[in-house]
Structure 1
């Protein structure tokens, strides 16, 4: 069988491998992204060298139902899209939300400003306005709202939006500052009203908000940018006595996710309080988490702990990015190389430095998503969808990397390998898919699998080795020999058989 040319990047086409008349062959489509240059390329032939391992699918073993995958509508991304030509703006939105693109199904946005805003702002700027008579989302009308509406018009299946505040307006806080401090108790009801008014205002724009996180990073960020602190008990009490009852009274059908910071010991401490009894957990629909505690560890123990604390609730990864880095422009190999550093490389406490070694961005993304899915996470959201060549705009100059980088002055767009990495999951594992079990004889080949609502089964694999790998994909009595290139991500779509064993 003739092998494919790894450097011949073509538009992914549907390819059926294995004759349908042969009962023991799986009918599959295979797409690959690799360090050699494949970008979601349809694979039509496989190399057969080396001993093949076995990957046995167990569709009768069912785990969590998938909510979705996607990225975030930030002011920074929307501001940059406004500077591009109509053609490039459409190209990016199509790539994220179009049926031929990544088909994002779960997204996030910020309420009030965040570090990836052009400036500090609040929808409730008037001090002492406890009834929020001057509440206004005017700040979002030129950028975030048009971005969301164009995405909605582009998306065939639609997508969910999770909204998060970085801080209440300074006048509601004990330090009267955008950064740090706590919400004053006398403004708890006003702050709960803020969430309700936000839902109403966006509804009037034709935009439904699916869920909230109560506070982005409630443990704080060293007062670098917009933030507000809660203890686990303070957040639980706010939701239990103020936010939950207010949204219920105003007849809002919206999810509330608690915590919204890093995995690890802190996550375990928060879910203990959030879900300690029925009264405390009543208004929490789940937990939101971030990945910044390590560049390689997805903390399976704490994810399992969080799931066991609330097995019927959501566990959603709400933010991740290559942080503390200026993007590499049109240099695909850098994203496959173990040269990236994160905030912890320079600033983590000495006893935590081992958690923050250099890493390859593509591997970090693929490892984390696979690790999260295999440990009960049902949604995974990237941070900014679009940034510039500096890694901004960001009013605090907290430079980061996005899957799509643009040069607005030259009207140029660069789809980094991170974009294709995310698409291996978001494009093929659809909302309401159910993660299924599998047995993998090659533990160096990372894998996860899910069954879509249409009956197809999706397997996503990561090969970090410098050599290609061969494996037999097995489901019941049916098999298919497959090879995955060196340093590659691969998505295998197993078509629903016309008859089953």
Structure 2
């Protein structure tokens, strides 16, 4: 009898031990940005409600490797920084690039002018200068280059820079105009040389260029600001026979070349052409995409198609912003409300109006970045880092919103909720991280997770609903319960499992 009791006792001990093992607590930190006022705030106490979501992390399931997150160096942003006091200028750059800031790791800039320039200019100002003997980046030396160099000084980890042309100089184009038109075939060699010269010119300023997109928005932009048109066939021909070979011949074959660089709805025809065969795909390192086809729908099917067409190539979102809006100043609530419109609210065709609803700016960013990361995108780059209260300066008066808004006359700075939204990803999901699998029981939550190279895991959770939610997070044999506020984004950081 005693032996039977002892046996039962040991069974109970084993069962209890097993239960305690499954409920072992994990170390974790939670950072939240919310409509209720949190701004990447560390949360240590939680209102535990009835568990509404169970999230199970699956680190053995790995997907794409992260290239980085960040924003764009534009002449508009750089000009504004130069109008601020040194203290405020440094505050902004540290907030974006320093270790205790957003730690931006992937950035963009423009070659020649763009809509967010003060005027239209080119590095090749002399007509028919086919050998680019008069190539000059003098226009960038007052504002743009100092901004980049100061950002480099504040960044301990460093960051990648890729450059994008909006257009060649008018004299190289068939319409002899800044807007629209096509590159004349007789200048294909000159235009390829332009990229090589740009690398050298920026290198002489102490700035290494990681790569390029071949052309910003090759479909054009409604004949508004600087643009130059390519078909998929024309761009592929230019890269395959001119740009790629030129960079290779000049010892710059390591520079990244990203094709396309426009909205996701057009991805299929472009990747079909770019990656048609070994010859066409040789010099393309990846595909660049924008979000303006819809800032609500992130087009998962198109992203999946692009990845499957070239699974070993980059797939980077290179531009997104809340466009066609004058920013709201010192009004955090607006960034959480479904009041913002985009260009398509007024201009999209009737059959495409549904893609352009009024939608909260924070929701656009959080929804799109998470949707992208869950569909093979490896980098996400915002547009202007800094704009003024009008949403400029912009020579075309194409007003937009940036994460940081400034009033240069009053020397004031406003970090909008979009800044903190970006930081939820850029600060905690580092370059070379791997997106990992997860299971989520709550369809109203959007989330993604990544395993960093230091062994830590970052889980980004977006609660778009009007209700707070309690979450049970499970990783292997450990679990933790916490809550997320209504209309909030959280990053949960789990240190390396020791």
Please say whether Structure 1 and Structure 2 have the same fold, judged by a TM-score greater than 0.5: yes
Task: Indicate the SS of the match to 1:260.
Answer: strand
**Which deviations, in whole Å up to 9, do the C-alpha atoms of 1:43-71 show, x marking residues without a partner?**
10111122332100000000000000000
Task: Indicate the SS of the match to 1:395.
Answer: coil
Alignment of 1:457 onto 2:471 = no
Q: Which residue number corresponds to residue 497 of structure 2? A: 497
Pairwise mapping of residues 307-456 of structure 1 onto structure 2 (< 5 A)? 307-456=307-456
Q: Which residue number corresponds to residue 274 of structure 1? A: 274
Q: Which residue number corresponds to residue 139 of structure 1? A: 139
Q: Distance in 1 between matches of 2:485 and 2:250?
A: 54
Paired residues in the alignment total 477
**Which deviations, in whole Å up to 9, do the C-alpha atoms of 1:199-236 show, x marking residues without a partner?**
00001111001110000000001110000000000000
Asked if structure 1 preserves the Cα contact closer than 8 Å seen for 2:300 and 2:375, the reply is yes
**Which deviations, in whole Å up to 9, do the C-alpha atoms of 1:64-108 show, x marking residues without a partner?**
000000000000000000000000000000000011110000000
Q: Which of these two proteins has the greater Rg computed from alpha carbons?
A: 2
Task: Indicate the SS of the match to 1:455.
Answer: coil
Q: Which residue number corresponds to residue 16 of structure 1? A: none
Shift of 1:482: 1.3
Q: Which runs of 5+ in 1 are unaligned?
A: 1-20
Task: Indicate the SS of the match to 1:322.
Answer: coil
**Which deviations, in whole Å up to 9, do the C-alpha atoms of 1:390-420 show, x marking residues without a partner?**
0000000000000000000000000000000
Alignment of 1:57 onto 2:51 = no
Q: Which residue number corresponds to residue 72 of structure 1? A: 72
Asked if structure 1 preserves the Cα contact closer than 8 Å seen for 2:212 and 2:257, the reply is yes
Pairwise mapping of residues 271-310 of structure 1 onto structure 2 (< 5 A)? 271-310=271-310
Task: Indicate the SS of the match to 2:76.
Answer: helix
Q: Which residue number corresponds to residue 259 of structure 1? A: 260
Asked if structure 2 preserves the Cα contact closer than 8 Å seen for 1:295 and 1:358, the reply is no
Shift of 1:24: 1.4
Pairwise mapping of residues 76-95 of structure 1 onto structure 2 (< 5 A)? 76-95=76-95
Change in CA separation of 1:187 and 1:490 when aligned onto 2, cut-off 3 Å: same
Q: Distance in 1 between matches of 2:51 and 2:133?
A: 70
Q: Distance in 1 between matches of 2:281 and 2:173?
A: 26
Q: Distance in 2 between matches of 1:346 and 1:285?
A: 36
Task: Indicate the SS of the match to 1:481.
Answer: strand
Q: Distance in 2 between matches of 1:204 and 1:382?
A: 27
**Which deviations, in whole Å up to 9, do the C-alpha atoms of 1:264-319 show, x marking residues without a partner?**
1x111100000010000000000000000112100000000000010000000000
Task: Indicate the SS of the match to 1:62.
Answer: strand
Q: TM-score, length-normalised on structure 1?
A: 0.94
Q: Distance in 1 between matches of 2:450 and 2:272?
A: 29
Q: Distance in 2 between matches of 1:210 and 1:443?
A: 38
Q: Distance in 1 between matches of 2:421 and 2:219?
A: 30
**Which deviations, in whole Å up to 9, do the C-alpha atoms of 1:116-140 show, x marking residues without a partner?**
0000000001001000000000000
Q: Distance in 2 between matches of 1:216 and 1:53?
A: 41
Task: Indicate the SS of the match to 1:479.
Answer: strand
Q: Distance in 1 between matches of 2:167 and 2:365?
A: 28
Q: TM-score, length-normalised on structure 2?
A: 0.95
Q: Distance in 1 between matches of 2:295 and 2:304?
A: 19
Shift of 1:22: 11
Further displaced range: 46-55 or 99-108: 46-55
Task: Indicate the SS of the match to 1:489.
Answer: strand
Q: Which residue number corresponds to residue 192 of structure 1? A: 192
Asked if structure 1 preserves the Cα contact closer than 8 Å seen for 2:164 and 2:214, the reply is yes
Asked if structure 2 preserves the Cα contact closer than 8 Å seen for 1:239 and 1:283, the reply is yes
Q: Distance in 2 between matches of 1:222 and 1:359?
A: 23
Q: Distance in 2 between matches of 1:103 and 1:321?
A: 19
Shift of 1:25: 1.1
Q: Which residue number corresponds to residue 4 of structure 1? A: none
Alignment of 1:182 onto 2:186 = no
Task: Indicate the SS of the match to 1:226.
Answer: coil
Asked if structure 2 preserves the Cα contact closer than 8 Å seen for 1:274 and 1:280, the reply is yes
Pairwise mapping of residues 139-288 of structure 1 onto structure 2 (< 5 A)? 139-252=139-252, 253-264=254-265, 266-288=266-288
Q: Distance in 2 between matches of 1:468 and 1:450?
A: 24
Shift of 1:23: 8.1
Q: Which runs of 5+ in 2 are unaligned?
A: 1-20
Q: Distance in 2 between matches of 1:200 and 1:326?
A: 37
Q: Which has the higher helix share?
A: 2
Q: Distance in 2 between matches of 1:270 and 1:24?
A: 50
Task: Indicate the SS of the match to 1:52.
Answer: strand
